[in-house]
Amino acid sequence: MCGIISYIGKQDALQILIKGLKCVEYRGYDSAGIAIGDEQHPFRIERSVGYIENLIKHVSPLGLKGHVGIGHTRWATHGGIFEKNAHPHVSNDKKFILVHNGVIENYAALKATLLKTGVKFYSDTDTEVLVNLIAQYYQQLEQLPTSQRFEESVRKSLAEVQGTYGIVVICTDCPNELIGVRKSSPLVLGINPDGLFLGSDVGAFSGHIENVVYLSDHEMVHIKGMDYQITDLMNGSVTSPSLETIDREQNTADLGDFPNYAKKEIFEQGTALGNMYLGRFSSDGSSAHLGGLQITPYELRQVERILLLGCGSSLYASKIGASLIETYARIPVDVEYASEFCYRNAPLNKNTLVFVVSQSGETLDTLNALREVKRKGFPTLAITNVVGSTIAREAGCGIYLHLGMEVGVAATKSFTGQVGMLALLALYLGRMRDMSFTDGRQFVQALQSLPQKVDEVLALCDKPMQKLAKTYVDYQHCFFIGRQMLYPVAIEGALKLKELSYMHAEAYPAGELKHGALALIDPSVLTIVLATNEEVMGKNISNMMEIKARHGKVIAIGLEGCEIPQKAYDEVIYLPKVYPALLPIITVLPLQLFAYYLASERKCNVDKPRNLAKSVTVE
């Protein structure tokens, strides 16, 4: 969950590192640091607590020089948020400087051994153990040439490590070299004529490069000046890198006229969905075109069950997707927490098709679930937004969302994008089963109109939700309730409110409210009722009346043409009617706006909520 950027080349490293750190700050923002130097300038390490801006203020007057450098922005795992725990970390002998993303699970045992040899520790991190372990091996390998000695020290040290890591290491005896290694934590090599980069994702390169090499697990890249070599960490054999071209625009983000990324990404959802659907409808306008699946129609018709795996917003999008696939394709669908799947022996039917869903494509829990399913021999596909991500590469095939980079930590456009793509998948599978041509055409027309509907709903709800946020800014508890496909929307709405505004929020299937949770209703509790599904409108109204009878506050999200009695709510917003499959997408939009504006009223950092990071690359 930390962000890494490193550079070696012809340009001054400082501004490249600072710009790169800004681009990956969404990965962690508890603290940040850099190390810069080269053959003419001794390496200097500077660190600070808090956002990148604090580091910039700290280093600006220092005049740091060098063409080689590493930078890191931290999301705390081992050790509190103090400068001593910020990266980079340096070995006792000052020869090694290291940044690390991941968790070293056996750090306590390694630390105990190093303490016996006289190593002193100045931080509470697992990373400081690794940098000193490398230094110890370096001392033992003095018979080797310096550059080889550097590489072998890293290799031997990592052979003792249990856990996950993406690391970049500097050896001051080899000031024009960098070594990077990954295991279950992303690391990407970026290449341009002026220098070589290593980063935790391509966003770290801030538009500097077009060509990249995505390192695989147990691969080590050794950079020497403008040359590099990739080897297998385990046996040292040289591997042939696969050079890929990236879309700079897909991996850069500009705020434009918006005050923050959270608001920008909410309001660009219509455009993002339009981009996602480009080229994905059949020529006769009755079905979907999903070339990335790489599974024949015959093979898909043999599927008897689908399993969707995800975490957080991706899990809730999958729950909606499950309802859509079951409704329109008549295929049973299970949805599981990816974080739990590996730790239970789930029975899977031999004709089960598995989709893993992850915005970043680097979510470690989801990646581990993918590997477990593949180990058992099941066909596994990915739905992800990031081209070249680990999940996308290891799944082998799947569907890219092409939503553009999402910077805000709280998922907004990636959630609606995942739901929109799962709706497209439901259409695709449905047309292979028993969905008629006419029904397929109606579904396609609804999806084609969705971007415009999203823009319409955001414009409709913007000012009302801003007003409601002012009204309820001092409330501390909120329930979200919904039925059928709107229950996962309620969960997502509660999650957004928690993430952005730090208000306590819970979601319930509406019928479950009276099975216990109703005991918590009083005038200090707000309930947001999602009542945009016509077929259960009467039951939704009954739920609202139950809450109002206990003096609870109710905001109703309704549907045009389906009037809700005034005595059933305190506030109401009516959304336009849409094709039933698209109700979850338009219903979540006012919830995103409410969470955003409530957080703004509470002076919360809407792009960087406390304790959270965008890409969860640790378990």
Chain-centre distance for alpha carbon 519: 36
255: nearest Cα among 247, 240, 265, 245:
265
pLDDT above 90 as % of the chain: 78
Pairing between strand 89-90 and 165-171? unpaired
**Residues 81-139 pLDDT 10s:** 999 999 999 999 999 999 999 999 999 999 999 999 999 999 999 999 999 999 999 99
Q: Is-contact 497 594, C-beta < 8 A?
A: yes
* Domain membership flag for residue 613: no
For β-strands 333-337 and 398-400, DSSP reports them as unpaired
From the list 543, 520, 521, 518, the residue with the least C-alpha distance to 530 is 543
Q: Are residues 452 and 312 in the same domain?
A: yes
Clarify whether residues 268 and 185 are in a common domain. no
Rounded to whole angstroms, what are the CA distances from 257 to 106, 260, 424, 456, 474? 47, 9, 32, 20, 29
- Count of structural domains within the chain: 2
176 lies in the same domain as 319? no
DSSP string, 254-294: --TT-SSHHHHHHHTHHHHHHHHHTT-B-TTSSSB--GGG-
Model confidence pLDDT, tens digit, residues 33-83: 999 999 999 999 999 999 999 999 999 999 999 999 999 999 888 889 999
509 to 219, 483, 530: CA distances (angstroms):
46, 6, 10
477 pairs with which residues across the strands? 504, 525
Does 563 lie in the same domain as 481? yes
Q: 364 and 305: one domain? A: yes
Q: Show Cβ contacts of residue 241 under 8 Å, excluding neighbours closer than 6 positions.
A: 189, 213, 230
What tokens does 582 get? 């698209």
DSSP letters of 95-130? -EEEEEES-BTTHHHHHHHHHHTT----SS-SHHHH
Task: Say which DSSP state 238 is in.
Answer: B
Question: Do 237 and 271 fall within a single domain?
Answer: no
Contact 303, 352 (CB under 8 A): yes
- Is 617 within the bounds of a domain? no
In a domain, 607, yes or no: no
CA pair distance 133, 110, nearest whole angstrom = 8
- Decide if 616 is inside a domain: no
Answer whether residue 514 shows pLDDT above 90.
no
Q: What length is written for the chain? A: 619
Task: Name the residues annotated as catalytic.
Answer: 2, 614
Residue 384 pairs with which residues in a beta bridge? 358, 400
Q: Is residue 618 part of a domain?
A: no
- Predicted confidence at residue 204, as pLDDT, reads 86
Query: Please, which pLDDT band fits residue 342 given cuts at 50, 70 and 90?
Result: confident
pLDDT at 26: 81
Specify the 3-state DSSP secondary structure of 415.
helix
Nearest Cα residue to 326 out of 415, 430, 399: 430
Strand partners for 525: 477
**Cβ(303)–Cβ(349) below 8 Å:** no
CA distance 572 to 580: 20
| 83's tokens | 């400068």
Which are the contacts of 538, defined by CB distance < 8 A and separation ≥ 6?
none
Domain closes at, from 251, 283, 303 = 251
Opening angle at CA 315, ends 309 and 321, nearest 5: 85
320 in the same domain as 245: no
The residues pairing with 36 across neighbouring beta strands, listed in sequence order, are: 44, 69
Strands 177-183 and 165-171, bridge-based pairing = antiparallel
Coil, helix or strand for 37? strand
Q: The domain that contains 239 carries what CATH number?
A: 3.60.20.10
Q: What is the pLDDT of residues 489-499, one digit of tens each?
A: 999 999 999 99
Q: ω before 488 within 30° of 0 (cis)?
A: no
- End residue of a domain, out of 228, 251, 274: 251
Q: What number of other Cβ atoms are within 10 A of residue 246's Cβ?
A: 18
Task: Choose between 259 and 344: higher pLDDT.
Answer: 259
Q: In the prediction, which pLDDT does 248 show?
A: 58
With respect to residue 529, please indicate whether it lies within any of the assigned structural domains. Answer: yes
Mean pLDDT, the chain, whole residue set: 93
What band does 509 get if pLDDT is binned at 50, 70 and 90? Answer: very high
The count of other CB atoms within 10 Å of the CB of residue 478 is 25
180-206: pLDDT as tens digits: 999 989 999 999 989 999 999 888 887
The span from the CA of 237 to the CA of 503, in Å, is 53
Residue 13 lies in a domain: yes
> Are 314 and 228 found together in one domain?
no
Q: What is the pLDDT of residue 250?
A: 55
Residue 271 shares a structural domain with residue 242: no
Sequence letter at residue 303: V
Tell me which of 191, 218, 251 is where a domain ends: 251
Residue 251: what pLDDT?
56
CA 495/CA 310 separation, integer angstroms:
15
d(C-alpha 102, C-alpha 84), whole Å: 18
Residue 249: the pLDDT is 55
Six-digit token pair at 224? Answer: 């020497």
Residue 615 has pLDDT above 80, yes or no: no
- Asked whether 101 and 53 are in contact (CB, 8 A), the reply is no
Tell me, yes or no, whether 612 lies in a domain.
no
12: phi then psi, degrees, rounded to nearest 5? -65, 130
Q: Are residues 43 and 110 in the same domain?
A: yes
Cβ 131 vs Cβ 90: under 8 Å: yes
Output DSSP code: residue 361: S
Find the helix packing angle between 583-601 and 413-432, rounded to 10°: 170
Q: Which structural domain, as residue segments, surrounds residue 165?
A: 3-251
Q: What is the pLDDT of residues 480-490, one digit of tens each?
A: 999 999 999 99
Q: Please tell me the predicted confidence (pLDDT) of residue 263.
A: 97
Query: Looking at the structure, do residues 288 and 341 belong to the same domain, yes or no?
Result: yes
Regarding predicted confidence, which is higher, 104 or 616? 104
Q: Are residues 441 and 558 in the same domain?
A: yes
Residue 350 belongs to domain with CATH number = 3.40.50.10490
Asked if 444 contacts 286 with a C-beta cutoff of 8 angstroms, the reply is yes
pLDDT category at 252 given cuts 50, 70, 90 is: low
Pairing of β 525-530 and β 504-509: unpaired
pLDDT at 321: 98
Assign 3-state DSSP to the chain and report helix, strand, coil percentages, each to 5. Answer: 40, 20, 35
C-beta neighbour count of 239 within 10 angstroms: 16
pLDDT at residue 241, rounded to an integer: 86
| Residues 617, 449: Cα–Cα separation, whole Å | 36
Instruction: Name, in order, each residue with C-beta under 8 angstroms of 526's C-beta and a sequence gap of 6 or more.
Output: 472, 475, 477, 478, 479, 552, 553, 554, 555
Which among 431, 403, 436, 408 has a CA at the least distance from the CA of 418? 403
- pLDDT above 60 (res 208): yes
In 3-state terms, what secondary structure has residue 451?
Answer: helix
Specify whether the CB–CB gap between 598 and 473 falls below 8 A. yes
Do the bridges between strand 504-509 and strand 96-101 make them parallel or antiparallel, or are there none, so unpaired? unpaired
